Amino acid sequence: MVPAPDGRVVATTDMLLEGRHFRRDWSSAADIGHKAAARNFADVAAMGAVPTALLVAFAGPGDLPVGWVLELATGIGAECSAVGAKVAGGDTSRAESVLLSITALGDLRGLQPVTRSGARPGDVVAVAGRLGFAAAGLALLGAGADCQDSPVLGGLVDAHRRPRPPYAAGPQAARLGATSMIDVSDGLIADLGHVAEASEVRIELVTGCLMTEPVTLPDALGEAASALGLADWAQWVLTGGDDHALAATFPPSSGLPGGWTEIGKVASGHGVLIDGKMWTGAAGWDHFRP
């Protein structure tokens, strides 16, 4: 039984497929477990709720070592413990590769749920958590970069393997009147594009606010770009996913809660603008894009 003191429950579900969302040669089973739980708990936080439970469905090859599966479960359980949630049930099956399907539940604790559709012209756009780290880490792994001698590069790889969403920032934002909120999982532009579409508004971002601390660490991303022979790391911040930061809009009169950084504003119109120009490139991760 999962208690629901508020009488209401928010729910979200997510799938992770081996080779699509993770690779066993890049991440440990514990890393994958932490990441699987974190992705779902971040969605709960983005609705302004506190995570309470997970339902976990797992499928994998018949020759998968039992120890690997137990380590995966340990990672899921550890992430649950970090937020005060538990695994309430699930199912297992056999498949050609590892598949996780997770449903997370959360308690609103008397608050109204924050959706994607409440942003209004004049609102402030803000972010909690860091951007660009996981995308940089993925790029380093994909290039086979040697990160062992660099704590900075190793930290970026760790951010891809095991994200650290700002869980408490979601309910905090809801208490202080956030009008919309979303978990940045597919890329900032892509996810704020969902908010813009659902709210029928335009989101206007300012790169001068995005490309500095505390939203990101320019020196760290610059080191990664240099290691990969890239001239620019801004793309990781704008379109990289998997950091699971939270992006939200707030009424201009409310003031931002601690841990949130203003990165733009909401205006009449549609789409997402970067420094006054409509973004026309790839906005982030797209499961169906070749």
User: pLDDT, tens digit, for every residue of 55-79?
Assistant: 999 999 999 999 999 999 999 999 9
Mean pLDDT (whole number) for 216-232? 95
The dotted CATH code for 124-278 is 3.90.650.10
Tokens of 3: 């208690």
CA distance linking residue 82 with residue 37, whole number of Å: 11
Is residue 278 very low, low, confident or very high in pLDDT (cuts 50, 70, 90)? confident
User: pLDDT, tens digit, for every residue of 163-182?
Assistant: 999 999 999 999 999 999 99
Burial (CB < 10 A; 0-12, 13-18, 19+), residue 171, is: buried
Provide the residue ranges of all domains of the chain, joining segments of one domain with +: 9-107, 124-278
Q: Going by CATH, does the domain composed of 9-107 fall within 3.30.1330.10? A: yes
Task: Mean pLDDT check: name the lowest of 4-18, 213-227, 261-275.
Answer: 4-18
Residue 34 has pLDDT above 80, yes or no: yes
Residue 188 has pLDDT above 60, yes or no: yes
Mean pLDDT (whole number) for 25-53? 96
Question: Average per-residue pLDDT in the chain?
Answer: 93
Residue 20 has pLDDT above 80, yes or no: yes
What's the pTM? 0.93
| Backbone angles phi and psi of 252, in degrees to 5 | -60, -25
Pairing assessment for the beta strands 99-107 and 261-267 based on DSSP bridges: unpaired
